[in-house]
Each structure stands twice: as structure tokens, then as C-alpha cells.
A and B are shown apart, each in its own frame.
Chain A
Amino acid sequence: MARIDARWKVTLAALALAPLAACGAPKADGNATAQSSYAAAFGGPFALTAPDGKTVSNETLKGKPYAIFFGFTRCPDVCPTTLARMARLRQQLGADGNKFAIVFVSVDPEHDKPADIGRYVTLFGTPVIGLTGDKAHLAQAVKAFGVYYEKVPQPGGDYTIDHTASVTLMDRDGGFVTTIDHAESDANALAKIKRIIS
């Protein structure tokens, strides 16, 4: 399982880092060294803005494991589906459900202002930390989580955003643990969340 996760993330990392020459993305050859150096490549420093205007960073999130997902509020399908699933899994954990935080980062700061994101996350009926940031802060955050996104112009002057559809799970020290693929079963996803809160 860990090997699959590593390969998966490296694929994403390669995509995300493709424009940077000689980025030195770690190779996933499945051995323990590669695994740990790979994990160390994620979860770097980041600082984003919460709906109340306060800064939420890798430092402020320390102390509690969290599940982080990148999307945008105009995303009609994958984003609400993913966040609704995280809310559902939290509910299934009962009292343990509050042992991890759910974090949503909008990669559409042009459209999604912090207050918009605050209203959006209330849809899910469970506390979700809604964040965004300017281009530079987002660049730092997507790098920290090995996430890809790209603004794509659409007919009529509008745009959409392609983005990574998996959830990244981090431990209470801000270390990378694993990812949840959007197509993974609830049972698998739940087992992974149990790993970060145990």
C-alpha cells in the first residue's frame, strides 16, 4: 500500500514540478530510503488565509492530524463530492471524528475570496477549515503537498481549473502520511484516516 502511495505521489510531484528543471523529485523504487526521502519532500512550510482573515500555516496546524484537499468553489462535482465524503467519514468515526481536521484550499483566489470559502465550507455540516492565498502563497502550498493545478480558459472568456483530485493526509507533526484517491472506496479511505488519528 505504501509503495502504491509513493508512486502515486511521485507522479503528481513530477507533474507539479515539471516546469522546474532538475527538480530532483525523489524516485519511488519502493525501498525504505526512497519512501522516507519521498515523504520528507512533502509538508513543507506554507501560509494561507482563513475566512476570518487570519493566517493558517503548517505551524498553526501542528498538533492535530489533518486531511487537506485543493479545489475551487465553482467545481461542481469532484470538490463537493470529496468534501462531503470527508464529512461522512468523520461522522462514521463517531467520537474519534474530531481527532483530525479537514482543510479545503481554494486554488481560485481570483474568484474565491476568504469569506466566500467560509460560506462554502459550511455546506458540509462539519467544521472544515477553508483557506486560500495569493499566487505566491498558493505556489508554496501546492509545492508542500505535491498538488497540481492549472487555470484553463474556456469559450466565452470564462475559465476552469484542472486540479489534483486526491486528499492528502498529514500527521499531527505536519508530516506527510498518504493520499486518498478520489476513486478509492470509503472503507480504504476510512482505514487511512484511522492511521493518522491513531
Chain B
Amino acid sequence: MKLLPRAILAATLSLAIAAPLVAHGVSKGAITISHPWARETAPGQSAGGGFLTITNKGKIVDKLVGGSTPVARQLQIHTMSMDGGIMRMRQLTDGLAIPAGGTVELKPGSYHVMFIGLTQPLKAGTRVPATLEFQHAGKVQVEFAVQPVTASPAMEHHHGAH
């Protein structure tokens, strides 16, 4: 039964994580960022994903152009698409537009922040500081709440007949 401790560990982590899942957010200028969260990573895993919701209350379009974090070599903005059952992930080198008066969700199955070249594992229950950079709002400090992979919300299902 060497697998048992693993199951117990997972269960314990899940319990530990339930508590910190309160909404947290930050505003700067016209931009409001809510609930930034990231997925836990395994030791040695070199990349991880982060998600958040961005609202632009301003009258002009803003753009999330990039950012940085002390826990990874790079922070990139990516898009993910499903094309005939094939997952394709690409870096948005021109940034992600946040329309005037609009909201863009970076969420599983869609856009995400990618932490590339992790210098340490993202541990469930911790918070990862990061700076997000907007074309107009400038630099915004956020903290990604790290959640266990098994607690990840189910993917949104925007699909028709399969």
C-alpha cells in the first residue's frame, strides 16, 4: 500500500486549500484584476499556468502586454485553442486586448498566463507575486493563489453537438 500516503497527502492538500479561496483582487487606473490563481506544479516542473479576470472600466482599450515574477524566468501571455481535437497553445506576442468597458477572463480552456522557467515549484496554498504590465494602466502588482491541480475548476464547456 505504498500509494496510500499519496492519497492522504492529496486529501490533506485539498482541505488546506479550501480556506484561502476567497476573492482577492487589485485595481489600478481603469483596470481591475480579480482572483488571480495558478496551478500547483511538481518539483522540477519548468512551467506553470496562471489565470485571472481583467476588467477595463476605462473608455479606451488597454492591453496586457506581459509581466514578470520572481519565481520564473519569464511570464508570457498565451492563448489556447482546440482545433479538430488538437490543442494548440501560442504566445500572444502582441499582448491581449482588454476592450473599453469590457472584461476578459484568462481561464482554463482559453487565455492563460504562462510562468516559464520556474525557479521553484508552485506550492498549493501559497501565493506567487507577479507584476503584470498593461499598455495604459502600467504595472500592476498581483498575487496568484496556488491551487492543487486536483482542485482546479472544471473546464467551461462551450461546445455544441459532439
Question: Is the pairing of A and B real?
Answer: yes
Residues of A within 8 A of B (CB): 4, 8, 11-12, 15, 73-78, 80-81, 83-85, 87-88, 111, 115-116, 119-120, 122-127, 148, 152, 154-156, 158, 160, 162-166, 181-186
Q: Is the CB of B6 within 8 A of A122?
A: yes
Binary flags per residue of B24-60, CB closer than 8 Å to A gives 1, else 0: 0000000000000001111111111100000000000
Q: What are the residues of chain A within 8 A of B108 when measuring CB–CB?
A: 77, 81
Q: Is the CB of A125 within 8 A of B11?
A: yes
Q: Which of B78-86, B96-104, B127-135, B136-144 contacts A (4 or more CB under 8 A)?
A: B78-86
Q: Is the CB of B157 within 8 A of A185?
A: yes
A186 to B90, CA, bound (A): 27
Minimal beta-carbon separation of B144 from chain A (angstroms):
12
Nearest B residue (CB) for A79 = B87
A166 to B90, CA, bound (A): 19
Q: What are the residues of chain B within 8 A of A83 when measuring CB–CB?
A: 149
A119 to B45, CA, bound (A): 8
Minimal beta-carbon separation of A162 from chain B (angstroms):
5
Q: Is the CB of B162 within 8 A of A119?
A: no
B19 touches A (CB below 8 Å): no
B15 touches A (CB below 8 Å): no
Q: Is the CB of B42 within 8 A of A81?
A: no
Q: Which of B41, B82, B91 contacts A165 (CB 8 A)?
A: B82
Q: What are the residues of chain B within 8 A of A11 when measuring CB–CB?
A: 84-85
A148 to B45, CA, bound (A): 23
Q: What are the residues of chain B within 8 A of A184 when measuring CB–CB?
A: 162
Q: Is the CB of B87 within 8 A of A78?
A: yes
Q: What are the residues of chain A within 8 A of B46 when measuring CB–CB?
A: 73-74, 111
Q: Given A12-B85, A119-B45, A155-B91, is A84 in contact with B152 using a C-beta cutoff of 8 Å?
A: yes
Q: Is the CB of A77 within 8 A of B91?
A: no
A123 to B108, CA, bound (A): 18
Nearest B residue (CB) for A12 = B85
Nearest A residue (CB) for B8 = A125
Q: Is the CB of B86 within 8 A of A182?
A: no
A55 to B86, CA, bound (A): 28
Known: A77-B49, A127-B3. 13 other contacts (CB 8 A): A73-B46, A74-B46, A75-B89, A76-B39, A76-B89, A111-B46, A125-B10, A152-B90, A154-B90, A164-B86, A164-B87, A181-B159, A183-B155
B7 touches A (CB below 8 Å): yes
Minimal beta-carbon separation of A192 from chain B (angstroms):
12
Q: Which of A73, A85, A126, A156 contacts B10 (CB 8 A)?
A: A126
B114 touches A (CB below 8 Å): yes
Q: Is the CB of B6 within 8 A of A165?
A: no
Q: Is the CB of B155 within 8 A of A119?
A: no
Q: Is the CB of A154 within 8 A of B91?
A: yes
Q: Is the CB of B150 within 8 A of A183?
A: no
Q: Which of A124, A148, A156 contacts B150 (CB 8 A)?
A: A124
Q: Is the CB of A116 within 8 A of B44?
A: yes
Q: Given A78-B87, A184-B162, is A85 in contact with B154 using a C-beta cutoff of 8 Å?
A: yes
Q: Given A116-B44, A119-B43, is A124 in contact with B149 using a C-beta cutoff of 8 Å?
A: yes
